Amino acid sequence: MSRLFGTDGVRGIANSELTPELAFNLGKAGAYVLSKNQQRPIVLIAKDTRVSGDMLEDAISAGILAMGGNVIKVGVLPTPAIAYLVKYYKADAGVVISASHNPFEYNGIKFFNSEGFKLDDEIEDEIEDIIIRNIDVNSHITGDKLGRCLEAEDNALSLYADFLKGTMGMSLKGMKLVIDCANGAAYKVGEKVFKELGAEVVTIFNKPDGININCGCGSTHPEMLQKTVLKHNADLGLAFDGDADRLIAIDEKGRIIDGDKVILICTKMLKSMNQLAKNKVTVTVMSNIGFHLAAKEIGCNVETTQVGDRYVLESMLKTGSQIGGEQSGHIIFLNHTTTGDGILSALQLIKAIKMLNKKPSELSDEIVIYPQILKNAKIKNENKKKYIDDPEISKEIKKVEEMMAEEGRVLIRPSGTEPLVRVMIEGKNIEIITGLAEKLADLLEKRFG
């Protein structure tokens, strides 16, 4: 059986791969593993707007209750809200039911511990082992030992909104913003936060119906947001994904400001305030070489990790870096929270725009994003990692890097799911790097295909 947990929880097509039975078992096993020292653990549960959210919420709740745990359902809220609220309510764990930027037919379940961090691999493995081996962890829980659904003492959405506003420290009066809520988890709290801070807000894609989440909208489809920014002559556009842990911004000229640029703009702000811890910023191997060159120009040290926000966070906790994230817009401000938060990232970007006293387009143009070419080499699964020790491949990579004279980059990554090795090359000249990528992909296929 393949591993249940991916890089961001358990995901699959709802009621087919991610069934109520699996959700129930995840609830039981999760409550057992995360709360071994608590006779009556408390677990917070939030969800996005997918039609399958109710089914999975009830199923996982039943599993937790069957373990003697109590459940607090806080309704539709962004994933990062649970990371904050689990500490506020002093809960033992948190659960988010969401498949992030995926289409509506998918859903997912991800856990947070009592400190608001996503689970370590070892804890996920323990939960998974219980499910796969069908271990009965609640055979003696009956009668008054069963759990209950509790009412939250305070309004969870308002608590989270107040936390977000508290990270800003300034008014947004005089700013016109367009926000794209992706018909997802930010559809209420997003507009609330920006309006209460004084901004004039135009909101699009904030009428979820259970199936329109991420459909032609949000951080993966910002085209309508770009048009709306120009139509309303807005200062900035902000696009979130289905669970609102990502941000893609749009400048006043209708151009995309991706995660790389948002991270660097906010890094400049922190450096100008002497608040850039360890003078470090953390990104993944997918961040553009233009990011690295711009960071070097302002005297920042870049820590690079493998793809996945969990690996970014692990590195940040080890090195003391306070800001890090991914090109996709998943950005962590560790001085404020423990996970990526699209709304918080938007607030920090606006703060940077105000403090650096430049228009979004001016700040964006200070970072030159280099053209990127991706070619797939068809490789047998058993050969996907052999290129690492191959002298001919190493020689060719070195040759390409020397040709680009530190103004380009080669990245080779085996696919995790397909018989492919991906060749990515960045450089100034699109035609040159296209030819180099094709040549390198052909060589990989010839040697290992």
Which residues participate in catalysis according to the annotation?
Answer: 100
Distance CA(60)–CA(55), nearest Å, equals 9
Q: Cα dihedral angle (280, 284, 289, 293), rounded to 10 degrees?
A: 0
**214 vs 379: CA distance, rounded Å:** 33
Structure tokens at 72: 């607090």
Judged by DSSP in three states, 6 sits in strand
- Detail the DSSP E strand segments found in 197-328: 200-204, 236-240, 247-250, 256-257, 280-284, 301-305, 323-325
Would you put residue 201 in left (φ > 0), alpha (ψ -120 to 50) or beta? beta
User: Which residue's entry shows tokens 């004279």?
Assistant: 405
412 sits in which H/E element: strand 409-414
Which residues are CB-contacts of 302 (< 8 A; sequence separation ≥ 6)? 280, 281, 282, 283, 291, 292, 295, 296
In whole angstroms, give the CA distance from residue 429 to residue 432: 5
CA pair distance 152, 84, nearest whole angstrom: 14
Contact 414, 352 (CB under 8 A): no
Q: Give phi and psi for 250, each to the nearest 5.
A: -125, 125
Residue 437: other Cβ atoms inside 10 A: 24
d(CA 146, CA 66): 6
**How many CB atoms sit inside 10 A of residue 6's CB?**
15
CA distance 193 to 187: 11
